[in-house]
């Protein structure tokens, strides 16, 4: 009836006059998931990197959501951006050519003895799981009036390969650049897809080799290379 009192209204939604003086509106919980994700503004350097960074960032955001994570929580607020920038760096080999890598590092030299560079650090990502594999590369070649600073090759990352193909790609790149009498490449690597998952063998290593030219055809020359990289 007319004398009935209206039900009380929750103070957080009441008009200011209906709340006690000085009483503050309760804080709302921060939004979760994609709504709460606020990436930092891109700097000039990132803006110059092209349009692939936002696409990668969005992809990592989707991965976190797919795992049931909350991208808006403090520890993950910038993770999609950081992961996207890291992937850009790890895949920079896609923007390089053998000419870019050697960069005038080929020299005319009347030297016909074997040249060996061993224990070159190598890092790459396998194409099956997109996780790292890393190890050492040993390279030998018999020059024909041309030599190269092989340290240049450590900067060349052929991304998303399998190790067998990577080994051959290195050998073919040297052959194309130098036209030597022969090339030998050995790669020893540990694969995180074997260490962290699958067989989970912590100390396992995969060894692959490619021999071209006289290093394939002449057993004595090949044996010389194998002996020298062991010493």
Question: Is residue 218 scored above 60 in pLDDT?
Answer: yes
CA atoms within 13 A on the CB side of 208: 18
> Is pTM, for the whole model, over 0.85?
no
pLDDT of residue 226: 95
Out of 1.20.1440, 2.60.40, 3.30.420, 1.10.286, select the CATH number for domain 33-90: 1.10.286
Is the pLDDT higher at 111 or at 209?
Answer: 209
Mean pLDDT value across residues 191-215 = 85
CATH node for 96-230: 3.30.1130.10
For residue 213, give the H/E element and its range. strand 206-213
For the chain, the domains span 33-90, 96-230
pLDDT of residue 52: 78
Tokens representing residue 192 in the block? 């995180």
Q: Is the dihedral of CA 125, 126, 130, 136 positive or negative?
A: negative
Burial readout 180-206 (b: 16 or more C-beta within 10 A, e: otherwise): bbbbbbbbbbbbeebbeeeeeeeeeee
């Amino acid at each position: 009836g007319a004398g009935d009192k209206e039900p009380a209204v929750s103070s957080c939604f009441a008009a200011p006059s209906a709340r006690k003086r000085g009483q503050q509106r309760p804080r709302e919980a921060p939004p979760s998931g994609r709504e709460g994700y606020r990436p930092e503004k891109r700097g000039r350097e990132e803006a110059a990197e092209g349009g692939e960074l936002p696409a990668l960032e969005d992809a990592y955001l989707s991965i976190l959501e797919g795992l049931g994570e909350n991208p808006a929580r403090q520890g993950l607020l910038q993770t999609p951006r950081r992961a996207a920038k890291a992937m850009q760096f790890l895949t920079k080999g896609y923007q390089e050519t053998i000419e870019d890598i050697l960069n005038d590092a080929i020299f005319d030299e009347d030297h016909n003895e074997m040249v060996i560079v061993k224990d070159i650090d190598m890092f790459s990502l396998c194409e099956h799981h997109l996780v790292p594999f890393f190890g050492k590369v040993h390279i030998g070649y018999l020059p024909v009036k041309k030599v190269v600073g092989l340290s240049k090759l450590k900067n060349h990352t052929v991304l998303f390969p399998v190790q067998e193909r990577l080994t051959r790609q290195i050998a073919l790149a040297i052959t194309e650049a130098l036209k030597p009498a022969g090339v030998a490449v050995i790669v020893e690597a540990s694969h995180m897809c074997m260490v962290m998952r699958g067989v989970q063998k912590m100390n396992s290593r995969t060894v692959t080799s490619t021999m071209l030219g006289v290093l394939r055809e002449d057993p004595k020359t090949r044996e010389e290379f194998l002996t020298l990289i062991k010493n």
